[in-house]
Amino acid sequence: MLAVEQAKVEAFVNDFRGRVVFPNDSDYDEVRAVWNGMIDKRPAMIAQCMGTADVISSVNFAQEHGLPVSARGGGHNVAGNALCDDGIVIDFSKMKLVRVDPTAKRAYVSAGATLADLDHETQAFGLAAVGGVDSRTGVAGLTLGGGTGYLSRAYGISADNLMSADVVTAGGNLVHASEEENPDLLWALRGGGGNFGVLTSFEFKLHEVGPEVMTAQIFHPIEKGKEVLQFHRDFLKNAPDKLSVYALVVHVPPIAPFPEEFHGKSAIALVACYAGDMTEGKKLLEPLENFGDPILKAVMPMPYKVLQQSFDAGTPDGQRYYYKSQYLTELSDSAIDTILNYTKDLPGPFTIIGVEPMGGAINQVDKSATAFPHRNAAFNLGIWSGWSDSVEDTEMINWSREFHTAMEPFSTGGVYSNYMSDDEESRVKEAYGGNFDRLTKVKTKYDPDNFFRRNQNIKP
């Protein structure tokens, strides 16, 4: 229920260049839907902004009337922070502009762009920004939480490559954050979450990648999981920074060319990307290609855009998702045994377990240089649980939590904020580590009343 005089609502709508969606609109449920079907929040207004002026109007209207506010970029965040009940959603889904300067190797990105939007423009010039591993992910949320993906060992996390940003503050002011202007704010935006304002645009450093990269996608039976994960761990110890190899526990898709006897069963997939010379990459991937007796293997050049979309279909929109994660000091044999104990019969048709490689350029940055502090981890363990039926909610959530607890002895004590579900407020300090106090000071400066709090919240 929107407790605001109708005349004031009408004045806001009349001055708004985009569209404002209300609960009585026929497409309200469609517009408020996000990737995680577990999220069922009912905002009073969804302000689909067309530009910065609309964003400022939305912030000012929410402030004037004491309304909750949230910001929606890609809507792919598992915690559902894009939505709020009975307030205003500042929706950037119509603001997807990406402009590339190929000479300066920079991309200027509006807040509603997804990784697919960004990759489409940058790859036209043989350039890429550091992104995640799902093309539907919003660039804004990914970057504000850190942002790791296939290029991170080579070029750092997404936040490391954020050069500047335009931010609408809680006071309705537009400020620019860069090394020269408001550098404290830029520092905080590099991994400190959506705590400090609403970002309308980003400037990213780009790198020469693609349009094709050398890749490997190799699936092994879960029964060989220990040998595969030991190989993965040992192989990465000597891998160059431009080579990234993910280990994923997945369900074998029930389609050709996967052998029928493995359809639907758990498997270990090694997914590699080499962001360099094709011939060199092919040689570097030979040990992966020759290891073991895989179910299926494909080692070949692939368009970088296609690699980025490879696993999108495994986690379809609107299903039920719950995440847990923690950074690992190492992938010890005991840690491997624990992972396999929980994943030999992987529950949930859309569940994926990710053993994401750190190291390389990620760990070469001082942990206080940006708000993202996890520079000493060897791997990030993602427990990405996914299922269809709400009847299974308790079972799946409990399994995820038990698995996470069992892995705690191997943890650095840190957690990736982008993988935090909506019941993990107690872990916010773990997400920001030793940078938490400095982030609190920045929060106090730019948002002293905690107006922006639908996030992994740092209180002023």
178-197 per-position pLDDT tens digit = 999 999 999 999 999 999 99
- In the Cβ-directed half-sphere of 295, how many Cα atoms lie within 13 Å? 30
Tell me whether residue 454 is in a domain.
no
Q: How far apart are the first and last CA of the chain?
A: 29
Q: At residue 392, does pLDDT exceed 90?
A: yes
Domain with 33 in it: 6-91
**10 vs 13: CA distance, rounded Å:** 5
**274 vs 255: CA distance, rounded Å:** 27
Q: Does one domain contain both 55 and 79?
A: yes
Q: Please, which pLDDT band fits residue 199 given cuts at 50, 70 and 90?
A: very high
The pLDDT, as a whole number, for residue 296 is: 96
The pLDDT, as a whole number, for residue 401 is: 98
**257 vs 297: CA distance, rounded Å:** 10
What number is the average pLDDT over the span 265-280? 96
Query: What's the full length of the chain, in residues?
Result: 460
**460 vs 443: CA distance, rounded Å:** 5
Q: Does one domain contain both 71 and 102?
A: no
Would you call 366 exposed, middle or buried from its count of C-beta atoms within 10 A (0-12, 13-18, 19+)? exposed
**128 vs 214: CA distance, rounded Å:** 15
Q: Does one domain contain both 35 and 104?
A: no
Q: At residue 4, does pLDDT exceed 90?
A: no
What number is the average pLDDT over the span 153-170? 98
- In sequence order, the β-bridge partners of residue 4 are none
Q: Please, which pLDDT band fits residue 48 given cuts at 50, 70 and 90?
A: very high
CB 321 within 8 A of CB 38: yes
Nearest to 207 by CA among 111, 126, 328: 126
Q: At residue 36, does pLDDT exceed 70?
A: yes
Which DSSP letter does residue 253 get?
Answer: P
The pLDDT, as a whole number, for residue 2 is: 75
**Alpha-helix runs per DSSP H in 37-166:** 52-65, 115-122, 139-144, 152-155
Model confidence pLDDT, tens digit, residues 55-79: 999 999 999 999 999 999 999 999 9
Distances (CA, A) of 249 to 112, 263, 344, 438: 31, 14, 9, 37
Q: Does one domain contain both 129 and 237?
A: no
Q: Does one domain contain both 197 and 291?
A: no
The pLDDT, as a whole number, for residue 3 is: 75
Radius of gyration, CA atoms only, the chain = 22
Nearest to 157 by CA among 377, 371, 362: 362
Model confidence pLDDT, tens digit, residues 85-141: 999 999 999 999 999 999 999 999 999 999 999 999 999 999 999 999 999 999 999
Tell me whether residue 453 is in a domain.
no
Give the end of a domain, one of 69, 91, 113: 91
Pairing between β-strand 352-357 and β-strand 88-91 as defined by DSSP bridges:
unpaired
The pLDDT, as a whole number, for residue 304 is: 96
The pLDDT, as a whole number, for residue 1 is: 59
**250 vs 162: CA distance, rounded Å:** 32
**Alpha-helix runs per DSSP H in 190-344:** 225-237, 278-284, 286-290, 304-308, 333-343
Q: Which two tokens stand for residue 222?
A: 């879960």
What's the mean pLDDT when you consider all of the chain? 96
What number is the average pLDDT over the span 398-417? 97
Q: Does one domain contain both 137 and 155?
A: yes
- 395's enclosing H/E stretch is helix 393-407
Nearest to 152 by CA among 123, 130, 137, 135: 130
What number is the average pLDDT over the span 373-397? 98
**167 vs 154: CA distance, rounded Å:** 28
- CATH number of the domain encompassing residue 142: 3.30.465.10
Instruction: Report the predicted TM-score, pTM, of the whole model to 2 decimal places.
Output: 0.95
For CA atoms 385, 390, 395, 401, the dihedral sign is positive
- In sequence order, the β-bridge partners of residue 215 are 273, 300
CB 208 within 8 A of CB 102: no
Q: Does one domain contain both 287 and 406?
A: yes
The pLDDT, as a whole number, for residue 393 is: 98
Q: Which single residue is written with the structure tokens 């609408």?
A: 168
Q: Does one domain contain both 175 and 227?
A: no
Tell me whether residue 357 is in a domain.
yes
Give the end of a domain, one of 91, 114, 143: 91
- Per the structure, the count of domains in the chain is 3
Backbone angles phi, psi at 89, to 5 degrees: -95, 120
